[in-house]
């Protein structure tokens, strides 16, 4: 009896342990099944999640195109082309005198495959009549045999990507596209027994353990390539035993389900190799472009050795922050390559003593966060985040890297001599189509953050005045007979203005010079930006008509229906100002600003196109009158400092803007090819100490001097007649009369009364007339 009882007691004691073991076994099985499912179902999805890539416009070359040799070489460098006498290999070019020999890589566009091409570009010193140093044109294109070419196209520059919230970026490459030398040295350095083990290498683990014990710290890892892949794809950087155990199990499962070639290809596309601001650089193909701005297939042995060396610690061996460490690490890999007879002693000598050959001065050079911000905002109207971040879409934009280069350089040159807390923004468009081709969002041009070009909503000051005068000129068809219409020669009062508000307060605008100027002609009031004359004119025309004109010009933000709006109390961002001035620059043709031209899938098959959409909103003849006055702004008025840097016969138009207490400095203006809007000020809204002329204008004029090739087209459209007008009275005059000016009018609106001629003036107004001919 006692024995049976003892046995029962023992059975009861054993049962809980057995149940516990069974439960643990079940949990282990469930855990293993979970890990297996995660590997099988997530491996492929994770491997092929590729962010959308964003590209600039493709540079199209043809005879007669205005383009300097310097600018074309700059773009070739941006594209990662190597300058070499052996120029016939793709991705290389040679310069000699006024000629460039180029061997393009070719690329796939939405229109089809663009084949690689070898050709030469010849430049002429011909000027456009403006005597601008930037005016140089292509005089001819010739293929390798010397035959004339109608045109050639460079591949578009990749300017960024729309990466996920975890900020990982990668570009995929097939294993058979990877240079064999890179694969071989990668396996030798990181996992010599890759093809022999099943995901774990006991020998490597033991070797690392001994080395670490001897050193008293972690100096060597024992992870295989498969374990590294698992860590990168599925796990955190936590160094606990639990995570290492999970890593080992998942490595075995990966080896069970996938071939060595698939694992190696995934590793090459997944391994973390550096950081570009907030963007994590994954994979050797993207790293090749990040560090050297060249395809992986064009790298030399030294560059391959650096990339493989970075696997050990991209931050520790960062070649920009720690060039000496990076060089030492590269040379260790080169030494192994020599020992394995992958390179000759001569090659080892050459590459181990060479510079690191980085394509840029810092990790974030070649990054355009402000423009990418604009692209993202336009994309998200039509696409969800997941599609943009995982499907490898190709976004082709209007971005012009050369124009951006000149915009950034102009802004940097001016800001370097200004106070450190002074900020700036700039937007550049193509006057012919409304394409946004360059954006600068702030003083720190390479860093994402507050994008002032899109989001700095500030009072625009006198930039609003052209809309006031245009609204008045639109009433010129009433005729001058009854004095109710407005022409450029209409006399208006610049006397003091007082307007009582609803609360009893008195609005009393003053001119910048604190003087009143009596009766002035309308064109002169705009050229000199007289506040009193403008306020009186706007109230005579009507606030509703002025606000309606602002809306027709392209501003969709609601501005305050107050008299102070007439002098720029309304707030706009630089991109909104660009929309308004784009309509002015394009002779009254409204074009919604666009950054995106085409969208394609990962195979570059077209998915969507953003067509050009233009329509006339302001009569071309009215815009000719406004252009006359805005030409006068930069010839004689508040913007005359423009011609301290531009040739006298290079025709441009624009308007300065200054706000109360010199808080905001604006300039918006256009030539025949580009419209540029510049804002300068402080984020804390304190005084910047700059007028529109002393601040923003200086950036604008330097940009136009270096980037623009075409003066403004000022040919009179139908419906415009020119007459000699007395500058003081606004009455008809004669060419040789003193104080006479040659001015445009809508047909039938010119004055009929004549002034008395006070004698001949020697040449000054004939010179002025020639400017507009």
Residue 770 has which token pair?
């020639």
**Residue 94: strand, helix, or coil:** strand
Which of 259, 241, 244, 359 lies closest to 306, judged by CA?
A: 359
8 A C-beta contact, residue 151 and residue 62: yes
Which of 291, 535, 585, 287 lies closest to 434, judged by CA?
A: 585
* Annotated catalytic residue, options 120, 352, 410, 462: 462
Cα separation, 191 vs 271, whole angstroms: 14
Cα separation, 88 vs 118, whole angstroms: 7
8 A C-beta contact, residue 732 and residue 714: no
Clarify whether 190 is annotated catalytic: yes
**Exposed/middle/buried for 99, CB within 10 Å: 0-12, 13-18, 19+?**
middle
CB neighbours (10 Å) of residue 663?
A: 19
Cα separation, 580 vs 494, whole angstroms: 26
* Annotated catalytic residue, options 136, 168, 190, 298: 190
**Residue 18: strand, helix, or coil:** helix
Task: Report the phi/psi class of residue 91: left, alpha or beta, with left for phi > 0 and alpha for psi in -120 to 50.
Answer: left
Torsions phi, psi of 113, nearest 5?
Answer: -80, 130
Cα separation, 567 vs 464, whole angstroms: 7
Which of 748, 744, 707 lies closest to 133, judged by CA?
A: 707
Which of 381, 197, 174, 410 lies closest to 296, judged by CA?
A: 174
* Spatial CB neighbours of 200, under 8 Å, sequence gap ≥ 6: 224, 226, 227, 248, 251, 252
Q: Which residues are catalytic?
A: 190, 462
């Amino acid at each position: 009896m006692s024995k049976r009882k003892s046995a029962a007691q023992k059975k009861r004691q054993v049962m809980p342990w057995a149940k516990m073991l069974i439960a643990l076994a079940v949990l282990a099985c469930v855990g293993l099944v979970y890990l297996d499912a995660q590997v099988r179902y997530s491996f492929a999805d994770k491997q092929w999640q590729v962010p959308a890539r964003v590209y600039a416009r493709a540079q199209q070359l043809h005879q007669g195109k205005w383009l300097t040799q310097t600018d074309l070489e700059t773009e070739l460098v941006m594209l990662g082309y190597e300058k070499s006498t052996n120029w016939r290999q793709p991705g290389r070019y040679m310069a000699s005198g006024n000629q460039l020999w180029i061997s393009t890589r070719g690329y796939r566009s939405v229109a089809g495959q663009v084949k690689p091409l070898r050709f030469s570009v010849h430049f002429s010193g011909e000027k456009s009549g403006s005597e601008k140093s930037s005016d140089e044109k292509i005089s001819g294109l010739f293929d390798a045999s010397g035959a004339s070419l109608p045109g050639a196209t460079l591949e578009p520059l990749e300017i960024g990507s729309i990466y996920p919230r975890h900020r990982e970026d990668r570009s995929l490459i097939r294993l058979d596209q990877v240079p064999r030398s890179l694969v071989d040295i990668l396996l030798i350095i990181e996992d010599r027994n890759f093809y022999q083990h099943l995901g774990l290498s006991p020998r490597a683990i033991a070797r690392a353990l001994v080395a670490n014990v001897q050193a008293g710290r972690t100096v060597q890892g024992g992870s295989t390539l498969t374990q590294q892949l698992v860590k990168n794809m599925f796990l955190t950087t936590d160094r606990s035993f639990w995570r290492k155990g999970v890593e080992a199990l998942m490595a075995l499962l990966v080896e069970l389900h996938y071939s060595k070639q698939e694992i190696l290809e995934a590793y090459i596309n997944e391994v973390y190799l550096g950081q570009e601001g907030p963007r994590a650089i994954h994979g050797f193909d993207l790293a090749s472009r990040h560090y050297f701005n060249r395809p992986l297939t064009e790298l030399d042995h030294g560059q391959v050795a650096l990339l493989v060396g970075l696997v050990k610690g991209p931050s520790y061996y960062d070649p920009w922050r720690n060039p000496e460490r990076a060089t030492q690490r590269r040379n260790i890999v080169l030494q192994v390559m020599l020992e394995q007879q992958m390179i000759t002693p001569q090659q080892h000598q050459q590459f181990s003593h060479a510079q690191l050959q980085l394509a840029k001065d810092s990790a974030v050079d070649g990054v355009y966060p402000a423009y990418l911000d604009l692209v993202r905002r336009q994309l998200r109207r039509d696409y969800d985040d997941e599609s943009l971040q995982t499907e490898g879409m190709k976004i082709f934009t209007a971005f012009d890297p050369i124009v951006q280069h000149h915009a950034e350089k102009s802004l940097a040159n001016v800001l370097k001599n200004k106070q450190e807390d002074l900020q700036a923004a700039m937007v550049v468009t193509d006057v012919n189509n409304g394409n946004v081709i360059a954006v600068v969002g702030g003083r720190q041009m390479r860093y994402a953050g507050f994008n002032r070009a899109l989001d700095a909503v500030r009072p625009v000051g006198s930039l609003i005045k052209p809309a006031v005068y245009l609204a008045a000129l639109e009433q010129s068809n009433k005729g001058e007979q009854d004095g109710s219409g407005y022409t450029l020669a209409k006399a208006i009062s610049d006397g003091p203005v007082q307007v009582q508000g609803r609360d009893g307060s008195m609005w009393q605008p003053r001119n910048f010079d604190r003087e009143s100027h009596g009766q002035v002609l309308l064109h002169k009031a705009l050229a000199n930006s007289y506040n009193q004359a403008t306020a009186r004119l706007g109230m005579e025309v009507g606030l509703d008509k002025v606000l309606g004109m602002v809306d027709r010009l392209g501003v969709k933000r609601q501005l305050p229906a107050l008299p102070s709006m007439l002098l720029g109390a309304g707030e706009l961002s630089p991109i909104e100002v660009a929309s308004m001035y784009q309509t002015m620059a394009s002779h009254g043709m409204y074009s919604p600003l666009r950054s995106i031209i085409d969208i394609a899938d990962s195979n570059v098959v077209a998915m969507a196109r953003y067509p050009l959409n233009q329509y006339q909103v302001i009569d071309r003849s009215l815009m000719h009158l406004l252009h006359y006055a805005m030409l006068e702004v930069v010839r004689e008025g508040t913007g005359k400092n423009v011609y301290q840097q531009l040739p006298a016969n290079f025709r441009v138009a624009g308007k300065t803007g200054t706000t109360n207490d010199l808080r905001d400095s604006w300039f918006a203006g256009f030539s025949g090819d580009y419209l540029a809007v510049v804002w300068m000020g402080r984020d804390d809204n304190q005084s910047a100490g700059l007028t529109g002329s002393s601040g923003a204008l200086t950036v604008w004029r330097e940009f136009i001097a270096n980037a623009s090739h075409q003066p403004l087209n000022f040919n009179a459209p139908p419906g415009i007649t020119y007459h000699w007008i007395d500058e003081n009275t606004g009455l008809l005059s004669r060419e040789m009369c003193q104080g006479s000016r040659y001015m445009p009018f809508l047909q039938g609106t010119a004055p009929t009364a004549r002034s008395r001629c006070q004698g001949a003036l020697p040449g000054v107004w004939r010179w002025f007339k020639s400017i507009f001919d």
